Amino acid sequence: MSTASRQRDKARSINLDEDDAFVSPPLPSQPRTAPGQLIGLQGRVHSQQQEIEQLRRELTEAQKTGSAVQLPLADLHEVAGRRRHMPAEKYEELRENLRHNKLIHPVVVRPRAEGGFEIISGHHRGDAFRELGRETIWCVLGDTTEQEANEGAFFANLMQSDLTDYEKYVGLKRFQSDHADLTQIEIAARVGISRGHISALLSFERLPAEVHAILDANKSIIGARVAIELAAATEAGKADKVIEAVQRVSEKKLDQTQALRFVKEDARRKPAAPAATTFKVKDGKSTWCDVRRARNVMRLEFQSEEVAEAVQDAIRRTLETFVAEGKS
């Protein structure tokens, strides 16, 4: 066999496909220019929007059958005013329950115009899942408008015994701003509680802004009944004392009853008594009489009872002469 024939046979034995298997595919190049980066970002946003639309369709289909859909926690967003207050110990119990047991009540959500979903109810379940390192949570679609969702949460919260009076006030103010045409009587009828209770909750409105800042961070320290009296003190010119009293309550230096007493005692405080004037009558180096006067009261203290008795008549005559001269 000629040399040329041997080289042709050797070339035919080379498997190009096997060589290609060991060659790493080229990495996609990243856009380096601003327009290129913008196009890439738009592509990712479009992809995310498609995913959210797909989730919306799944939720809608699940709603028809009464089933739930798992949604990414990152796509769930909170709306101010819908979260119900839950004491720390209750939240810990909820989280530990969900650590070991399945979620029984799905989170209720509704789609957002800007993408993702807003939570109607189930905020604490979502918080617990996040703390437990979960990435998704079972959700159902709420068939409500935004106003219905807000009002539904408000009405539900208002009836919760463990919701603080201050949180009820915040929800009531939001409801009032959404229904500016309603009177307090009409609001009371709509909400289903007495007008007196509505008025008591709205007394928080008359407290200083500094007190609201304290209550925003410590929602349970002041009840509506105490707020009524603190509001009256504020309007009577005692705003500084009200702020100080609530601050002391937040620092656990006073309870609510003591805070009211602190404000009221300051309001009744009497002017400080003037300092008493004193002088001594000497007999040589010793004190013969110690004299002390405070306002219209004069006190004389002698060395002995005998001296006091002996001087008494002289004092009486002096006083009678003083009175007689005053009349002439």
CATH at 54: 3.90.1530.10
What pLDDT sits at residue 107? 93
Q: Which amino acid, residue 42?
A: Q
- The gap from C-alpha 108 to its chain's centroid, in whole angstroms, comes to 24
The answer to the question of residue 204 being in a domain is: yes
pLDDT tier, 217 (very low <50, low <70, confident <90, very high otherwise) = very high
Tell me the average pLDDT across 19-48: 49
pLDDT tier, 64 (very low <50, low <70, confident <90, very high otherwise) = low
Average pLDDT, the chain: 81
Q: Model-level pTM?
A: 0.53
What pLDDT sits at residue 19? 34
Judge whether residue 169 has pLDDT over 70.
yes
Judge whether residue 172 has pLDDT over 80.
yes
Angle between helix 184-191 and 195-202 (nearest 10): 110
Q: What is the CA radius of gyration of the chain?
A: 41
Residue with the bigger pLDDT between 147 and 15: it is: 147
pLDDT tier, 258 (very low <50, low <70, confident <90, very high otherwise) = very high
- Same domain for 168 and 129, yes or no, is no
The answer to the question of residue 315 being in a domain is: no
pLDDT tens per residue, range 30-41: 555 555 555 554
- Same domain for 170 and 139, yes or no, is no
The answer to the question of residue 285 being in a domain is: no
Helix (H) or strand (E) holding 240: helix 239-250
The answer to the question of residue 34 being in a domain is: no
Contact 153, 145 (CB under 8 A): no
| Residues of the domain holding 226 | 164-267
Interacting residues of 87 by C-beta distance below 8 A, sequence separation 6+? 162
| Count of the separate structural domains present in the chain | 2
Which residue from 53, 67, 150 is spatially nearest to 111, judged by alpha carbons? Answer: 53
Phi and psi for 286 in degrees, rounded to 5?
Answer: -95, 155
The answer to the question of residue 88 being in a domain is: yes
pLDDT tier, 21 (very low <50, low <70, confident <90, very high otherwise) = very low
Q: How far is CA 241 from CA 72, 77, 191, 291, in A?
A: 49, 40, 34, 40
The answer to the question of residue 129 being in a domain is: yes
Tell me the average pLDDT across 33-60: 61
The answer to the question of residue 90 being in a domain is: yes
Helix, strand or coil, per DSSP, at residue 304: coil
- Same domain for 177 and 262, yes or no, is yes
Judge whether residue 13 has pLDDT over 50.
no
- Same domain for 89 and 54, yes or no, is yes
Tell me the average pLDDT across 242-253: 96
The answer to the question of residue 310 being in a domain is: no
Q: Which two tokens stand for residue 16?
A: 């190009």
pLDDT tier, 285 (very low <50, low <70, confident <90, very high otherwise) = confident
- Same domain for 57 and 128, yes or no, is yes
- Same domain for 112 and 185, yes or no, is no
How much of the chain, in percent, has pLDDT values that exceed 70? Answer: 77
Which residue from 52, 45, 92 is spatially nearest to 69, judged by alpha carbons? Answer: 52
- Which DSSP symbol is given to 238? I
pLDDT tier, 146 (very low <50, low <70, confident <90, very high otherwise) = confident
Tell me the average pLDDT across 267-283: 75
Question: What gap in Å lies between CA 153 and CA 157, rounded to an integer?
Answer: 6
Is the Cα dihedral 195, 201, 207, 212 positive or negative? negative
The position carrying tokens 């309007």 is 235
Question: What gap in Å lies between CA 259 and CA 273, rounded to an integer?
Answer: 26
pLDDT tier, 325 (very low <50, low <70, confident <90, very high otherwise) = confident
